[in-house]
Chains A and B, each alone.
Chain A
Amino acid sequence: MWDYTDKVKEHFMSPRNVGEISDADAVGEAGSLACGDQMKLMLKVDEHEMIIDAKFQTFGCGSAVASASALTEMIMGKTLDEVAKITNRDIADFLGGLPDEKMHCSVMGQEALEAAIQNYRGVPGEETANRKKVVCECFGVTSDEIERVVRENDLKRIEDVTNYTKAGGGCRQCHGRIQEILDQFAPTEELAVPKPAAGKLTNIQKIKLIEETFEKEIRPMLKADGGDIELIDVEGDRVVVSLRGMCSSCSSSSFTLQKYIEPKLREFVSPDLYIEEVKP
């Protein structure tokens, strides 16, 4: 069971402002059925841009319903300019906190609110190429959404991004791209360190370090047995290599990769790396 605060439980058991506003002035949606949660926010707004009524419908888990309920309480009686400043963290704080894995529920609330404001003001959704660029195909998360949670919540690790947006929680193929976004927000001096902490490497730095590790730690051992190794590709934490010479036909080569080469790369480059072999 998730460790929900009493306030989350209370908002889930007795959600405020559930329902529809048939003549809503603004409607915003976020999430999707595929992800397992979706929220629809409907607002009545007066001539001073004050929210005089808010209703929601949510398909989702306990914390998704609670986040939506909390949001409607937070925005009632406030102007659109005031509520535009609400972040996902504000929603989570209002509920006394959410489990890390459930922070994406507060993000969904914030996104539905943002969409409703845009809908009211007639802003055409900023459908620029960058905004709509999907990073995580599994859950349909865009670079814009990831950048926002990284900025507003000071996220440092891919795992955090997954907890806040679900991005990267599926096939993991987008981990490299998420890392690049994290790198944009990482302090630059850390990037300059020759052997930086895990997860702070750009792909180019990673490749350079891998080649160095091959040269110093791995090739001498392989060459003693008449073999060699070649780096084929690096994609996120996936390191694709090909074994050459005697190694390519050696029956224990997969053992060598798993038990010797991968640990060396993890020790000297990044602890999350994993190795895959392609036959030459």
Chain B
Amino acid sequence: MSIRDVYADNNATTMTAPEVLESMQPFFSSLYGNPSSMHQFGGQVKKHIDRAREQVASLISAQPSEIIFTSCGTESDNAAIRGVLEAAPEKKHIITSRVEHPAVKNVFQYLAESGYRVSELSVDCKGRLDLDELREVLDDDTALVSLMWANNETGVVFPIEQAAEMTRAAGALFHCDAVQAAGKIPIDLNRVPIDLLSISGHKLHAPKGIGVLYVRKGTHFSPYLLGGHQEVGRRAGTENVPGIVALGRACELAADSIEAENTTVKAVRDQLESALLERSIDASVNGDTVNRLPNTTNISFKFIEGESILILLSEVGIAASSGSACTSGSLEPSHVLRAMGVPFTRVHGSVRFSLSRYTTAEDVDYIVTNMIRIERRLREISPFGRDELPKQIR
């Protein structure tokens, strides 16, 4: 079989869409003015920022004035959480879940060390949130609830609408890390009472280095970066104009393709998942398969190890990721899978395939053929589960 490049790690980052790349080019060459300048050379750039702000707002049904451009999802999360707590210092209780991205998780850990009382909501074996637990921990002292819309590792989608309503009823603010959700599933902030929401450009086919923080009108918020008057004083720093324009265009494209994400991309993902489950020796899906992003599947291959799988996939041009300890940079396996109680026999062999609208049915066939071959090869050298192996390779 000929080697081809198959990128199946779109929850890590995405290809910049060709239309997006084209949209940003002029802002590296002729349109390099500073939008804050008084002259026309800079001033003409500002209207492109305004346009991008409208495009972003439109994707999530927000007002343009509620959109703040940042440098990345992590900045948006940090600015949101710390910005509202600083604006309301009298309350000392904050709530999050055990499966958040480090950009939220580590901020909460820092706040716990600085004297905040932190409640961490658990998830069940399918990565689902228990809303009753949220109801129980909300109290008069609760300043903020921060929950992700969709999980980066498993794709599991939380019941954000109900969680946000419950939080508002309790008089607390609600922040949502929607970095994985934006562009993949519909987000309607007219309907869902979210106060702050984070988006990252490079997860939806814009380049790296651009993010969005949505702050609902009327929310008390202290800026994180102090300096000039950019973003109406809520985020100082000269605007990343090419990035902003690119993100605007990417949001426009995302709005157009969101239906395809939930039909075409979903069908390709389902094809990948069912073929892997059917043809593997022993594999299982991690996470709720009902409420899940259309592009993500997280599959554990029993008795083999994730880094070995990734190296062998990479050898044949396939990019994916794993929750194994050896791929984490630390020595511990995925905190998400452990919070779900996935047994060690399966955690280390977990592989996440995250697709995009650029993934084809041929790509999926190529992944399946190679993944099945790799599973057999690694099972042959593994000391575990020998009795369960098919006779010919035992």
Contacts and interface: CB of A to CB of B under 8 A. Distances in A.
Interface of A: 1-2, 12-13, 15, 18, 29, 33-40, 56-62, 64-65, 101-102, 138-139, 162, 166, 169-170, 253-255, 257-258, 274, 276-277
Contacts of B382: 57-59
Contacts of B344: 33-34, 36
Contacts of A15: 381
Interface of B: 113-115, 303-308, 311, 314-315, 324-327, 329-333, 344-345, 348, 380-384
Contact of B311 (A12, A255, A257, A274): A12
Nearest to A102: B326
A70 B157 CA distance: 45
B307 A61 contact: yes
B384 A169 contact: no
Q: Which 8 A-B pairs have the closest CB atoms?
A: A254-B115, A169-B331, A61-B307, A61-B326, A57-B383, A36-B325, A40-B383, A36-B348
B94 to A, nearest CB: 14
B203 to A, nearest CB: 21
A278 B344 CA distance: 35
In terms of DSSP, what is the predominant structure of the interface of chain A? mixed
A274 B114 CA distance: 11
Contacts of B331: 101, 139, 162, 166, 169-170
A117 to B, nearest CB: 19
A61 B325 CA distance: 9
A33 B345 contact: yes
B212 to A, nearest CB: 30
Contacts of B306: 61
13 contacts: A12-B308, A13-B315, A18-B380, A36-B325, A36-B344, A38-B383, A38-B384, A40-B383, A58-B382, A59-B305, A60-B326, A61-B307, A64-B305
B318 to A, nearest CB: 14
Q: Which of A18, A59, A255, A257 has the most CB of B within 10 A?
A: A59
A62 B311 contact: yes
B303 A59 contact: yes
Contacts of B113: 258, 274, 276
B383 A59 contact: yes
Nearest to B384: A59
A166 B333 CA distance: 12
Given A12-B308, A62-B307, A169-B331, 11 more contacts: A33-B345, A36-B324, A58-B382, A59-B303, A60-B305, A61-B324, A101-B329, A170-B332, A255-B115, A258-B114, A258-B115
A37 B115 contact: no
Which of A38, A61, A64, A276 has the largest number of chain B CB atoms within 10 A?
A: A61
B308 A36 contact: no
A40 B384 CA distance: 10
Contacts of A254: 114-115
Nearest to B332: A170
Contacts of A257: 115
A202 to B, nearest CB: 25
A93 B304 CA distance: 26
A36 B305 contact: yes
Nearest to A56: B381
Contacts of B327: 61
Contacts of B325: 35-36
A202 B356 CA distance: 54
A13 B315 CA distance: 9
Nearest to A37: B305
Nearest to A254: B115
A2 B304 CA distance: 19
A56 B380 CA distance: 11
Contacts of A60: 305, 308, 326
B380 A62 contact: no
A253 B348 CA distance: 43
Contact of B332 (A57, A169, A253): A169
A20 to B, nearest CB: 8
Contacts of A38: 383-384
A18 B345 CA distance: 21
Contacts of B333: 36
A138 B325 CA distance: 13
Contacts of B330: 169
A71 to B, nearest CB: 14
Contacts of A29: 383
B304 A59 contact: yes
B326 A36 contact: yes
A33 B314 CA distance: 24
Nearest to A62: B311
Nearest to B379: A59
Given A62-B307, A258-B114, A33 B384 contact: yes
Nearest to B380: A18
